[in-house]
């Protein structure tokens, strides 16, 4: 793994680790957490809270995967000289959302029905993307 990839993964996972540690019940002194970590934690916590009622529709790691992809997309959108490989991005998103897409069904007349799990998953991704864009701003 290159140094850039290692640092990118660390940069993406550090705020998520802070969010996980904050949920263990151990009080966290807000003064010791940087504003960016607090904002990232708030974004992930908000999306996680919105998904609480839908846990049975998704694999447990879906939120983490979507968060990592959303942060990678934001880094590519906001940092000069960083580009996202569209083929890899599409492959990763298909891997995350493929199982959700399979839960969709067709209506009796053969037309595609609304795939509610997919809509919920894309809503979560959009919230993560928007929240991370706000943090980057």
Angle at the Cα of 37 from the Cα atoms of 32 and 38, rounded to 5 degrees = 80
Average pLDDT taken over every residue of the chain: 78
Q: 66-110 pLDDT, tens per residue?
A: 999 999 999 999 998 899 899 999 999 999 988 888 776 656 665
Tokens found for residue 117:
């799990």
Q: How far apart are CA 85 and CA 82, in angstroms?
A: 10
Task: Give yes or no for a contact between 8 and 85, defined as CB atoms under 8 angstroms apart.
Answer: no
Q: Closest by alpha carbon to 40, among 129, 135, 133? A: 135
Distances (CA, A) of 63 to 19, 30, 59: 13, 24, 9
Q: How far apart are CA 112 and CA 105, in angstroms?
A: 7
């Amino acid at each position: 793994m290159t140094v850039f990839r290692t640092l990118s993964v660390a940069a993406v996972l550090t705020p998520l680790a802070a969010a996980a540690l904050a949920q263990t019940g151990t009080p966290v002194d807000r003064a010791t957490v940087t504003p960016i970590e607090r904002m990232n934690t708030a974004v992930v916590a908000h999306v996680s809270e919105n998904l609480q009622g839908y846990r049975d529709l998704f694999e447990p790691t879906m939120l983490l995967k979507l968060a990592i992809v959303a942060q990678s997309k934001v880094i590519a959108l906001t940092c000069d000289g960083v580009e996202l490989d569209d083929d890899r991005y599409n492959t990763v998103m298909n891997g995350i959302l493929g199982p959700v897409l399979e839960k969709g069904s067709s209506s009796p007349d053969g037309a595609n029905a609304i795939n509610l799990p997919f809509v919920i998953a894309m809503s979560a991704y959009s919230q993560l993307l928007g929240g991370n864009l706000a943090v980057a701003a």
